[in-house]
Amino acid sequence: MHGELVIPCLFAAPAAARLPAAELILARGRCTSGPSQSLEAWLNEAFGFEDEPVAAGALTLLAAGGEPANDVWARADPVHLRLMRDRLVLVPPAALRIARDEAEALAGALNTHFGERLALQVVDEQRWVARLPAAMEVAAQAPLPLAGCDVAGALPPNAASPAHQLLNEAQMVLHAHPVNEARETRGEPPVNSIWLWGAGSVPRVSAPRWQSVSAAEPIALGLARAGGIRARAVAANAAGWLDRLPEDGRHLAVLDGLRVPLSLSEEGEYQEALARLERDWFTPLLARLRDGRIGMLTIHVPDGAECVAYETIRGDLRRFWRRPKSLEHYA
């Protein structure tokens, strides 16, 4: 069996402690590298859509059990935009801690205002989708990688475009909403805009690489379902993942627990997540590679300075001259 892990941001910060299993797998494997890619772009390319935009809205709805049909959908994620002296800074959904009732109330107000022009659905507190009346130019990049950045250059350049007009209206609706007034009273940033990105319809996936995909990331699950691949929620650990897999085939697990930018989380949270990966994934997978349960293990690392992959088979573990190094070495 060929097991593949996608672990964005694995090298985002040095590990506080050594991770023996992870370090051994990386040191003994064969490394390939390419240009920097986001997780979304990596998934899109891995499923055969290298030259096409990520249809994030339609895939997210499909992953949630919705019916996107052939319509154009975009992600319409709730964000906070903060105008600084000379730039427009984005605070992504992960940093806003939006409650479900808040999301429903805000999306309901937008639907009342826009009607069929922007049919919003709340998939979860951080992920909203919108059916667009026609294809329109929206942002290509997800809000999370833009956290704390000037986003003026990420928006469609034409200020008179339908997308700009729609966003301006949405911001006016959200500005005086009681939910945001209550959030500001509590000292929390208001949800003062939506971030439209990833417009498109469900793509047709042909010749998929994997027999199963396990993930929490809805774009991965949506692509799997579009290709007729078995799509599952990601297991808590490698043992739970492997127990559900056959003895052969190629299987993918997306582990994106390190992806919240360090600027939005405590350093300790990142270190705890690294320690869990070592305990729950790297250590048991190394054991299964040694005993032959896994024939090949590949670890992909997008969301870094480069997009790298480490491919390891059982025989590679005997390459003792390749000494393990701390994760800081790979940053």
Q: How far is 85 from 87, CA to CA, in rounded Å? A: 6
Which helix or strand (DSSP H or E) is residue 56 part of? Answer: helix 56-63
pLDDT tens per residue, range 14-29 = 888 899 999 999 999 9
Cβ–Cβ contacts within 10 Å for residue 64, how many?
17
Helix (H, G, I), strand (E, B) or coil at 73: strand
**pLDDT tops 80 at residue 71:** yes
Out of 75-89, 158-172, 217-231, least confident range: 158-172
DSSP, residue by residue, 108-153: HHHHHHHGGGSEEEESSSS-EEEEESS----BSS-SGGGBTSB-GG
The whole-number pLDDT of residue 264 equals: 55
Query: Shortest CA distance to 117 belongs to which of 134, 138, 139, 137?
Result: 134
pLDDT tens per residue, range 232-285 = 999 999 999 999 999 899 999 999 999 876 555 566 888 999 999 999 999 999
pLDDT tens per residue, range 98-116 = 999 999 999 999 999 999 8
One-letter amino acid of 75: R
Out of 55-64, 86-95, 212-221, least confident range: 86-95
- What tokens appear for 310 in the block? 């480490």
